[in-house]
Every structure is written in structure tokens, then in C-alpha cells.
Amino acid sequence: MRLNLALVTLVSAVAAQDLGVPLSWRKFSNSRPKSERITIAQNAINQMTPQLNANTGEFNGIGFWQSGNAWSVLANQDWLAGTTTNKNLVVNNLNLVFRRWAHYDQFQFNDDAMWWAQACLYAYRAYQDTNLLNHAIDVWTHVTGYVITAAQASAHKNPNKSFSLQSTCEGATMAGGVFWRPTTDDQAVNSVTTGLYITLSAFLAEYTKNGTYTSAAILSANWIKAHNINSNNLVLDTVNAADCSRSPANWLFTYNSGKYIEGLSVLGAVTGDSQWNSLMINILNSAVKTNAWQGSDGIITEGASPSSNNDGAGFKAIFIRGIHEAWTRNPNNSALRTLIHSYGDVQYNALLDLAATGNTYSSAWHGPPQGFTSWGQLAALDVMTCNIDTN
């Protein structure tokens, strides 16, 4: 009995980790040298920065959360290129926006606040500026009031919410779930807010060595694991904490998997617990191959929106950044690295071959090329910057 079970487990674990690169993918390698890749990425950033509104620290043509993500990629560019080209802009504007909006929360969304806190952590990684680390801790402390603790789940009550919580949904505790919004009546707990909280917690654990953050990351990682992964290993969107109802099964967005992949990658490194990396690899392998957001050529179709801003254009940037973190944290897993490298090159080559006008890029990665849009540029920046590494 025991032996049979062990064999079944082994077989499914091996089957789940076939990390082969689909040969149908379009152009999954390129030979541009690193210096050229750094230039391509910084040139793309240089097309974005004229859109900065110096009074608000936000960019014209994209939303508040997307502006936070623009700062993320500028910081990561310096980290990966070993430069300080973007440092003053990044640091000054992250400080400006922190002064303007308590906890970076302009519109009462916990995920908005954490996109900006995440930018602060990337900037801390690039520049070791302690003020930015403290901004991230401020947001973490604020959002922690909206994380369902084990005691709150048992008591059916979060002190910041006006309704009665379900202690379990489909048999699993709601502990670790993070409310999307701080407003007292909003009942949604979702993967992106929880995934952001996992990632912030894991980075803070790494930078401060404070076990409070590790425990928080584990509790929330277990919430997504128990509630919000479908049978194809893709991360789902929302669970309602008042009645356990769910977002439609076809609400599949790259960033839900991407942010969880990122958080698990850091959590795996911080804890040394291999279950997080195994789970991460299964999700990543599915996410780069699913037909939910790409065809057999591998090019992401989500958020292709030539004429108006679309949140989806921001989603796919988060996904690319998440799988880059997996690449960074797994230097010895050559099959995983080859898969991430190949997928990254598919997107990179599509942008350069099919969607480019000079150094500006369409949000439609199959093209055609078009004039500059802030959201198209934002979506492309993470591809360009991550490719400095993963190519």
C-alpha cells in the first residue's frame, strides 16, 4: 500500500515537471549581446519617462497601479544592468507619491498600495535606500489589517469588515486570504492582492531576517494553494469571504499566476522549503504553455489594445517579471531556466519583429506596429529589462 502510493506520487511529480520547450513557439532564442539588450531596454524606458507628470509622480495615459509598476521596471533596469541611470527619478518619485497618499493608497485598493510598495522593494534592492524599505514596511503594516488571521476565520470576524466571514470555503480555512479593498463592506479576497502580500512579506523576510514576515508569507501562500489554483495549475481570481462564491472559472489572467510565482520563488529561497519551489514550477510550466493567453506560437495575447488603455497590458508585464524572479532564484535548474529563457525570447522577438516603431511598442505583441501608447510601452518594458538576464 505504502509502496504503491509512493510510486504514484513519484510518477505524477515527474509528469508534472516536463519542462520541455514547445517547438511550435516562434523564435525562442536570439543572439543579441548583453550590451545591446541593456541599450534596447533603457531606450524603451527613455520613451516612457517624458510621460511623467512631475506633480503627481504618475505617468500620462496609464492608471495609478500601472504607474507604480513603471517605477518597478526602472529600478529593475538599474539592478540588472548594474547602472544608476534611473535612480534619481525612481527614488524622488516613490518618495513624492508616498507623501501624497497615505500608505500609497489613493483609491482604497490594497493591491494598488502594494504595487507601489513592491516598487519600493525593487528600488531598495537596486539602491539600498532605507527610506524605501520603510515605505514598504508601512504598506505591509497597513494591509496586514486586511489579512484574515486564523483567529478571525474562527470568529467569523475581521475588525475592519462589517460583515460575517466564512471560516472555511470548500473545507479549507480562509486564514491568509487578503481583502482586495480596505472598504468595510467589500467582500472580495483575491489572488493578486494575496500574491502581492506574499511577495512583499517574503522580500521583507529576506531583507530584515524578521520571522514575522516569513510566517505571514507562508499563511497567505497556503491560502492561494488551498483555494485558488485550478486543475490546470493556473491561479484563479476571487473568492467572496462572506459566501464563498467564486469569480467565473474563465477569469484567467497572467498576473494572478505571475505574482504567485514571484512570491513562491522568494519564499522558497527564504525558507529553504522545497514544497514552494515545486508548486511554483508546476504553475510556471502551465502558465507559459496554457492556451488561456497565448496560441501555439507562445506570444502573449492578453491586453492587446491598440486604441485605449487596458489593465491587461499591465498584467502581462507582471507575469514576465514574476517568471524572471523564478529564473533568478533557480540558477541550478537548467531545464527551468531554458524554459524561461525561451519564453522570454518569444516575447522579446515578437516585440522587436512585429510590434516595434523605433523604440516604442504596441500592446498587441503580434503587431501591427503603431505610434506610442503609454500602456503598450509599459507592457513592453518588463520584457526588455528581464531579457537582459534571461536571454
Ligand X SMILES: *[C@@H]1O[C@H](CO)[C@@H](O)[C@H](O)[C@H]1NC(C)=O
Q: Which is nearer to ligand X, 159 or 171 (CB)?
A: 159
From the list 20, 145, 295, 358, which residue makes contact with ligand X (rule: CB under 6 A)? Answer: 145
In this structure, which amino acid lies at residue 307? Answer: S
- CA nearest 176: which of 206, 205, 143, 204? 143
Alpha helices in the chain (DSSP H): 2-16, 34-48, 64-81, 87-100, 110-127, 130-144, 150-155, 191-208, 211-227, 254-271, 274-287, 311-329, 334-354, 374-390
Cα 36 to Cα 31: distance, rounded to the nearest angstrom: 10
Q: Which is nearer to ligand X, 32 or 157 (CB)?
A: 157
- CA nearest 298: which of 34, 21, 9? 21
Burial class (CB in 10 A: 0-12, 13-18, 19+), 270: buried
Cα 243 to Cα 88: distance, rounded to the nearest angstrom: 47
Applying CB under 6 A, which part among 36-44, 139-147, 259-267, 314-322 lies near ligand X? 139-147
Site for ligand X in 217-256 (CB under 6 A): none
Q: Which is nearer to ligand X, 152 or 238 (CB)?
A: 152
Is 210 a residue that touches ligand X (CB under 6 A)? yes
Taking the complex as a whole, how short is the minimal distance between the CB of residue 331 and ligand X, in angstroms? 5
Residue nearest to ligand X (CB): 145
Site size for ligand X (CB under 6 A): 10
- Under 8 Å CB-to-CB from 280, ≥6 apart: which residues? 260, 261, 264, 265, 268, 326
Cα 207 to Cα 235: distance, rounded to the nearest angstrom: 27
Taking the complex as a whole, how short is the minimal distance between the CB of residue 148 and ligand X, in angstroms? 12
Applying CB under 6 A, which part among 138-146, 148-156, 217-225, 241-249 lies near ligand X? 138-146
Taking the complex as a whole, how short is the minimal distance between the CB of residue 142 and ligand X, in angstroms? 4
Site for ligand X in 149-178 (CB under 6 A): 159-160
From the list 130, 274, 307, 332, which residue makes contact with ligand X (rule: CB under 6 A)? Answer: 332
Applying CB under 6 A, which part among 43-51, 134-142, 256-264, 379-387 lies near ligand X? 134-142
- Under 8 Å CB-to-CB from 128, ≥6 apart: which residues? none
Taking the complex as a whole, how short is the minimal distance between the CB of residue 204 and ligand X, in angstroms? 8
Binding footprint of ligand X on the chain (CB under 6 A): 137, 141-142, 145, 159-160, 210, 212, 331-332
